[in-house]
Amino acid sequence: MFNLFKKKDAAAPEERVAACLQNKDYAGLARAYYDMGCAALAAGDQGRAMLWLSRADTVYSARDDVYDKVGEKITDDCSNKIDALEDAPLLVNQIEEEVVDRAAGLGDVQIRVWSLLSLARLVPVADRLGALPGCGVLGKLGKCLGLAVQSFQNPITPDEFDFIGGVCGELSQLSDSEAFFAGGGIPCAAGAPLEVFDLNGLTMLLNMEAFFGGHLHTLAGDPVSDAGEMVPCALLPDYWTRTVGGGIRQLPQVEAELARIWDDCAFVRSGPTWSAVAQRVTQYRALDIFAV
């Protein structure tokens, strides 16, 4: 007999994400991402599992009230699953090891320039994302990049130094802001819109902050070594995993970016002139990394 009192099926996690964003229910948003991550893990899709679980972690870690509402049972399990996935054969895990291996024998300035070149390819993306509400700091990265290039040859002014420091603070604030984890998207040459939350992969905002912060400390006579965390960021793995899924290493745009990363490594190892570095930065700032 048909049960008139049978409960309707729960909404799909993707529908829950949309509803939670509309209602600004960020605890519900974190739970929805967590459920999507668990479902992806159960289906054997480790890439999307890492994507969704990392998004859940970012959302519930941003605010104490959200963390408390989500509850330790979920937050602890989410963290444990992310820790386990860090050993999975994913590009986001492997690329960091590859960068460390390729950086062997490079000096700190060379690694810093290598990072700077990757950042140059992200500037066009950041400029466009900077038009989204609350994301204006991303539109300032181009100026910071130019000042960093200049600082390798000539001193920057105290005001310019303070400008970069202010951007570092704004990047940190954005990483915990609803403008980041509940922000919008922009059109993208690859097809599907690019979301500002796609910068969550490889902790890009914090790596940008660390790069510029470390550079300022170095300029001030308190050297901070650059470990190259910025180098793989222009791969934008979260975008490709979210929109395409599967093994993203073989995607044409990803292959092209990997080729640029290793070519940049060979370039800095060759001991280029600063004018050659500036020329490559200029070329990268005109590049659309999403185009085939």
Q: What are 114-130's pLDDT values in tens digits?
A: 999 999 999 999 999 99
Would you state the pLDDT for residue 2?
36
* pLDDT mean across residues, the chain: 95
- H helix intervals, the chain: 13-23, 26-42, 46-62, 64-70, 72-85, 91-103, 108-129, 141-151, 158-175, 178-181, 204-219, 237-243, 252-269, 274-285
pTM of structure = 0.94
Query: What pLDDT was estimated at residue 9?
Result: 41
> pLDDT band at residue 13, thresholds of 50, 70 and 90?
confident
Average pLDDT of span 52-67: 98
Please give the backbone phi and psi of residue 139, each rounded to the nearest 5 degrees, phi first: -75, -5
Question: How confident is the model at residue 10, as a pLDDT?
Answer: 59
